Amino acid sequence: MSRQRLRTVARAAFLLAVVAFAAWGLQGSWRDLVVALSSTPLPGLAVAAGLVLLGLLTTCGAWLRLLAGYGHRLPPEDGRRVFFVGQLGKYIPGSVWSMGAHADLARGFGVPVRVTVGTSLAFLGLNVATAGLLAFGMLAAGMPTLPLPRWAGLLGALGCAAALTPPVVARLGSLVAGSAGTLTLTWGCLAVLVARMALTWTCYAGAMVALIPGTTPGHVAELLAIAAGGFAAAYVVGVAVVVAPAGVGAREVTLVALLSPAVGLATATAVALVTRVLHTAADLTLAAVSALRRGRSPAVQR
């Protein structure tokens, strides 16, 4: 069997594994999902879906900016294809499959494997640090986003802020890339990356608020803050549980625990479940659309 044929078979197996594990993540929850969807107003569901898509597109821009920091700029459509198709690997247990998929896809555009892995690790660090800054910052402000004292929230927020400096992020990315490349980041570039992640967390929090029935305008700001802190904390927990595909289970438990004091257990459970489905559907949709658009576009000079 030729190398090209082996790669085709491997990619097909990768996609089958993604679908299988994504479905497995909802095992035993289909009835609850139907109930949750039926109780969610259609306009709220549409707004939530749109915000999730916007959040994911924003993170894609952050990943491509980090890759550009190594001197590799992919054409927009091809960059989205590399990112979104590669991101499907997070649904396979182990937390390394998305990096491997990114590296395999980006290699076709002359990007060294270690540079792509460095980009993905720096991107993961950016996600965790900004999520931690949000969750710890709200804890320090008195919001129980984590089961820790307020002084721990202050220390955690300071630590995350220190991790979001060009020397730290660039050093991490350059160490991983080794001789294959050096990550160069200015303060202005990092500020743009942090702003992108702030928009991402806001979109995800807004999506959850849109799913809460009966939300009045006077409570939107309060619920948005709770949802943002809750989603950020749940994201960090999900990353820590590496054996779960895309943090499935761990994130939902965390979300329910943090949302239920404000909206009730039943509503929090429904919001967490529908949020999981919306993110999965958005990941699959963006990967499919970017792959199809790449298939119709002219070949890229390599």
pLDDT, tens digit (0-9, with 9 covering 90-100), for 195-209: 999 999 999 999 999
Summarised one tens digit per residue, pLDDT across range 30-84 is 677 777 777 788 899 999 999 999 999 999 999 999 999 999 999 999 999 999 9
Mean pLDDT for 113-120 is 95
Of the ranges 28-37, 95-104, 254-263, which one carries the lowest mean pLDDT score? 28-37
Per-residue pLDDT at 2: 64
The dihedral over CA atoms of 177, 180, 183, 184, expressed in degrees to the nearest 10, equals 160
**Sequence-ordered list of residues with C-beta below 8 angstroms from that of 39, at least 6 positions apart, any chain:** 213, 270
Per-residue pLDDT at 301: 36
Return the domain boundaries, the chain. 30-111+187-291
| Alpha carbon distances (Å) from 109 to 45, 113, 251, 302 | 38, 11, 35, 6
Nearest C-alpha neighbor of 131 from the set 257, 221, 230, 268: 230
CA distance 296 to 81: 12
Q: Judge whether residue 22 has pLDDT over 70.
A: no
Tell me the residue length of the chain: 302
Q: Judge whether residue 170 has pLDDT over 90.
A: yes
The DSSP secondary-structure symbol of 178 reads G
Q: What is the mean pLDDT of the chain?
A: 85
What pTM value is reported for the model? 0.85
